[in-house]
Amino acid sequence: MTRHRRFPLDAGLLAAALAGDGLSVRVVQETGSTNADLVAAAKTGAGEGLVLVAEHQWAGRGRLDRSWASPSGAGLTFSVLLRPAVPAGALGWLPLVTGLSLASTLREFAGIPAGLKWPNDVLVAGEKLAGILAEAVPDRDRSGTVAVIVGIGLNVDNDVDELPPGATSVALRQRQESRPLVGRGELLIELLRGLVRVYRRWLAEPTATAAAYRSVCDTLGQRVRVELPDGSVVTGTATDVDDHGRLVVDGRAFAAGDVVHLR
């Protein structure tokens, strides 16, 4: 298979483009996990807005301890350090807010009709495009706010043979829809700017942001199977996402679980 040329990310360009958004961006060729690296940085007092991008990570994790792998230079793998000054009960919304920001940017900038499977898998036509893992850091900085590391893995230039079953990439979708391909660096800038906008909006207007999330959550209204951490399974209709970010299925609220959309 002939692949188009993959260009490395320009660390200087990214840092300069995003400095005005309150972000400090670092790019490394490879690391075990960008999330783990920022957890360590948070524990030593690193401030909000630190972003670590890796061209390749070899120990990346997704939700429920799944692995996340991508060929070097094919996807976008990055983590962001946030310190939201919100009640502890509201922190469950942060990964959902991140998913909302990704879906919104992909729709507006890349022309991809992305939606969300609760809590934060980014899908298009039922295929997975991106995943998110949020981790709270127990240590607190001097302001007393909890640090949260939000890790994102997005398939960008991946071809079919580089993806697991049920996954897709930005390039594949844009080719299918005869759209010009976007560069990884350009897309990363837009994704991070979008995350900052939606994050700040959530801090200022949590109710409005929750409504925006529900509008792009494909899980709502669907008959679903929820596979719970204890091994049990619940089947029913997903009707809402409550004020704590939990999925409501036939009147029961779930904070964690693997959701399968049933046809």
Span 9-34, pLDDT tens digits: 999 999 999 999 999 999 999 999 99
Residue 132, domain member (yes or no) = yes
Say if residue 210 is in the same domain as residue 155.
yes
Domain check: are 76 and 192 in the same one? yes
Query: Is residue 3 included in any domain, yes or no?
Result: no
Domain with residue 177: its CATH number is: 3.30.930.10
Q: Respond yes or no on whether the N-terminal peptide bond of residue 8 is cis (omega within 30° of 0).
A: no
Residue 64 banded pLDDT, cuts 50, 70, 90 = very low
219-249 confidence digits (pLDDT tens): 999 999 999 999 999 999 999 999 899 999 9
Assess whether 141 and 236 both reside in one domain. Answer: no
Per-residue pLDDT band for 140 (boundaries 50, 70, 90) equals low
Same domain, 141 and 257: no
* HSE-CB of 38 using CA atoms within 13 angstroms: 34
Does an H or E element contain 159, and which? none
The answer to whether residues 208 and 229 belong to one domain is no
Determine the structural domain holding residue 135 and report its residue range.
11-216
- Cα-to-chain-centroid distance, residue 223: 24
In this structure, are 210 and 227 located in the same domain? no
Q: Are residues 135 and 244 in the same domain?
A: no
Confidence of residue 144 (pLDDT cuts 50, 70, 90): low
Q: Annotate 164-190 with b (16+ C-beta within 10 A) or e (fewer).
A: eeebbbbbbbbeeeeeeebebbebbbb
Residue 4 in any domain: the answer is no
Distance, CA of 50 to CA of 25 (rounded, Å): 6
> Per the structure, how many domains does the chain have?
2
Segment 251-257 shows an average pLDDT of 95
CA nearest neighbour of 190 among 23, 7, 27, 4: 23
Tell me: do 128 and 233 sit in the same domain: no
Instruction: Decide: pTM greater than 0.85.
Output: yes
